[in-house]
């Protein structure tokens, strides 16, 4: 019997973690941490694993909500063998060390979960077994009940560098977990490569944009044109533009987009400000540029002239030296660089804040994007009011599939059953309804935290 238990990320974008039991072999698909929760609440429900076999963890990509709780898992279950793509492993080395500094603040009062050290992260990263796309690996867990092994492979998911959908096969049964997936192109990444994946028994499908009308999500090139027009207006008036971005993925994609617009002469040449781990991750993109499927192979992000944000102590510098500031975090979470710039930015008449990616409701970024020039806003429910003096513009440069793309995946892999994960109820409802209407024979499950699903 094969079964699935969502330990996190079932009905939200949070600590993605799904436990699979394949004939006695225990596998975790992802091991994420919730970016906005603190302490134990930010972790997947590891308690549910106590009496279950656990042998392997497959990591789909290096975003924190998919990898961030690996160090906690390894404290509790040190024998777990971890697999990822080589690129995910390389990025994880940067992001897990960076997260360790934040975790110390968020976990200090809770001794139930021991805080891990940088030395432990070094050991953990070294232990990750790197496996390239399309390679088939055969495994058996300690309590495996069959002569036949569990085979798995990573497939390029087109979301960020190293991202993978994961195919698991055992005894003729196929399970495909999309991870975060993009069927459309970006500036650097090209669309997911699912060519060989067909006739799946169980599809575990991300639902991020299931609830979002695709009219809202621009095609990359047309969003770039819109960005260019709005940015030119602000730069011509001597203003600077704050673009909150995730350090991993969005920083590199937007940097590449801005640079090519400037190079073509359509976007006013101005200073590009970057910094922090986004810059380190750009290095990994550069180092892997001949090793993965991507656009602009010749482009080295490191060669693009950039000014380090962290060298600037007095923010008035941005008035005298107008430019485009790529600062993490993407949702402007408290304590991050984009948040620290926010109060100053909101006060500047000639400046602009351009949202470019996904924002959870109730984050400061979401609140800013929902506002307009001249309004008063709070950055949190109990926060003080700020007057919005700068321009606010919202763009959609998506690293996730639009909802039609998600339905295309269903059509292509032709599954017998679908488990919807990684989305809110609205997103899962829309997708579920569409799937049942188009493919009545498909058995549909909506993942719920901790609730076991028998998958055959
Ligand atoms: Zn992701």
Measured in degrees and rounded to the nearest 5, phi and psi for residue 324 equal -115, 125
Query: Per-residue pLDDT averaged across 192-211, rounded?
Result: 94
Ligand 1 center from residue 131 Cα (angstroms): 19
Query: 21 phi and psi, to 5 degrees?
Result: -115, 110
pLDDT value for 217: 83
Residue 111 has pLDDT above 60, yes or no: no
HEC string for 386-425: EECCCEEEECCCCCCCCHHHHHHHHHHHCCCEEEEECCCH
Measured in angstroms, how far is the CA atom of residue 105 from the centroid of ligand 1? 24
Average pLDDT over residues 210-218: 87
Residue with tokens 């070294």: 126
Of 96, 86, 275, 232, nearest in space to 162 by CA: 86
- The predicted-structure confidence for 289-315, as pLDDT tens digits, reads as follows 999 999 999 999 999 999 999 999 999
**Cβ count near 107 (within 10 Å):** 20
Confidence of residue 114 (pLDDT cuts 50, 70, 90): low
CA–chain centroid gap for 41, Å, is 19
Does the pLDDT at position 422 exceed 60? yes
- Output the CA 61–ligand 1 centroid distance in Å: 7
% of the chain residues with pLDDT over 90: 85
Tell me, what's the pLDDT at 112? Answer: 60
| Res 216: pLDDT | 83
Determine the pLDDT at residue 109. 53
Determine the distance separating the centroid of ligand 1 and the alpha carbon of 232, expressed in angstroms. 30
How confident is the model over 4-30, as pLDDT tens digits?
A: 999 998 888 889 999 999 999 999 999
pLDDT of residue 110: 56
State the pLDDT at residue 102. Answer: 72
Fold classified for 2-212+399-454: Metallo-beta-lactamase; Chain A (3.60.15)
Q: How far is the CA of 388 from the centre of ligand 1 (A)?
A: 30
CA of 7 to the centre of ligand 1 (A): 17
CA distances from 421 to 49, 425, 426, 429, 448 (A): 19, 10, 12, 11, 8
Q: How confident is the model at residue 33 (pLDDT cuts 50, 70, 90)?
A: very high
What is the pLDDT confidence band of residue 362, given thresholds at 50, 70 and 90?
confident
Position 420 scores a pLDDT of 96
CATH 3.40.640.10, applies to 220-394: no
Question: Residue 44 phi/psi, 5° resolution?
Answer: -65, 165
The answer to whether 266 and 200 are in contact (CB under 8 A) is no
Return all residues near 319 (Cβ < 8 A) that are at least 6 apart.
238, 240, 348
Domain with CATH 3.40.50.10890 in the chain: 220-394
pLDDT digits (tens, 9 = 90+) for 78-103: 999 999 999 999 999 999 999 887 76
Residue 238 has pLDDT above 60, yes or no: yes
**pLDDT > 90? residue 108:** no
Mean pLDDT of the chain: 94
Percentage of the chain modeled with pLDDT above 70: 97
CA of 142 to the centre of ligand 1 (A): 31
Alpha carbon 269 to chain centroid distance? 30
Query: CB neighbours (10 Å) of residue 348?
Result: 19
pLDDT for 218: 79
How far away, in angstroms, is 47 Cα from ligand 1 center?
25
Residue bearing tokens 């698909």? 29
443 Cα to the center of ligand 1, angstroms = 26
Q: Is 165 strand, coil or helix?
A: strand
**Ligand 1 midpoint to CA 414 (Å):** 24
Tokens of 131: 């496996």
What pLDDT sits at residue 105? 64
Q: If we measure between CA atoms, which residue out of 53, 52, 51, 68 comes closest to residue 17?
A: 68
Dump pLDDT digits (tens) for 150-198: 999 999 999 999 999 999 999 999 999 999 999 999 999 999 999 789 9
**Dist. CA 203 → ligand 1 center (Å):** 18
Instruction: Provide CATH 3.60.15.10 ranges for the chain.
Output: 2-212+399-454
- Dihedral (CA of 358, 360, 365, 368) sign: positive
**Predicted local confidence at residue 106, as pLDDT:** 63
pLDDT-based confidence at 107, cuts 50/70/90? low
Q: Given a cut of 60, is residue 341 above it in pLDDT?
A: yes
How far is ligand 1, taken at its centre, from the CA of residue 63, in Å? 5
Q: Quick one: average pLDDT of 409-428? A: 95
């Amino acid at each position: 019997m094969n079964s699935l238990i969502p330990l996190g990320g079932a009905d939200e974008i949070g600590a993605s973690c799904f436990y699979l039991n394949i004939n006695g072999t225990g596998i975790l698909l992802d091991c994420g941490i919730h970016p906005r929760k603190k302490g134990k609440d930010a972790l997947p429900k590891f308690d549910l694993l106590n009496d279950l076999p656990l042998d392997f963890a497959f990591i789909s990509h290096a975003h924190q909500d998919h990898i961030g709780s690996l160090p906690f898992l390894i404290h509790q279950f040190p024998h777990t063998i971890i697999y990822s793509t080589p690129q995910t492993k390389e990025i994880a080395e940067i992001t897990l060390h960076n997260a360790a500094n934040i975790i110390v603040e968020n976990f200090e009062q809770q001794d139930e979960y021991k805080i891990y050290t940088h030395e432990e992260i070094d050991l953990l990263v070294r232990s990750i077994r790197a496996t390239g796309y399309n390679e088939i690996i055969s495994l058996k867990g300690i309590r495996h009940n069959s002569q036949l092994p569990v085979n798995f492979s990573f497939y390029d998911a087109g979301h960020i560098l190293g991202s993978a959908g994961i195919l698991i096969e055992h005894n003729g049964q196929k399970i495909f977990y999309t991870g975060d997936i993009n069927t459309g192109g970006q500036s650097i990444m090209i669309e997911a490569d699912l060519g060989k994946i067909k006739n799946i028994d169980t599809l575990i499908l991300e639902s991020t944009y299931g609830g979002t009308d695709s009219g809202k999500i621009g095609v990359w090139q047309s969003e770039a044109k819109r960005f260019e027009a709005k940015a030119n207006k602000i730069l011509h008036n001597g203003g600077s533009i704050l673009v909150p971005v995730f350090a991993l993925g969005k920083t590199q994609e937007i940097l590449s987009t801005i640079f090519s617009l400037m190079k073509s002469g359509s976007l006013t040449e101005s200073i590009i400000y970057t910094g922090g781990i986004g810059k380190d991750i750009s290095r990994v993109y550069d180092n892997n540029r001949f090793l993965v499927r991507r656009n602009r192979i010749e482009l080295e992000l490191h060669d693009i002239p950039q000014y380090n944000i962290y060298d600037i102590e007095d923010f008035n510098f941005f008035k005298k030296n107008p430019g485009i500031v790529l600062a993490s975090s993407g949702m402007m979470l408290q304590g991050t660089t984009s948040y620290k710039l926010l109060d100053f930015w909101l006060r500047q008449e000639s400046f602009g804040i351009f949202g470019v990616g996904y924002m959870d409701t109730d984050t400061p970024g979401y609140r800013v994007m929902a506002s307009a020039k001249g309004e008063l806003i709070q950055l949190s429910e109990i926060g003080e009011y700020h007057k919005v003096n700068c321009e606010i513009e919202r763009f959609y440069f998506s690293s996730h599939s639009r909802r039609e793309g998600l339905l295309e995946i269903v059509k292509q892999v032709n599954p017998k059953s679908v488990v919807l994960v990684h989305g809110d109820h609205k997103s899962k409802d829309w997708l579920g309804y569409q799937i049942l209407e188009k493919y009545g024979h498909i058995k549909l499950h909506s993942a719920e935290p901790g609730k076991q699903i028998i998958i055959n």
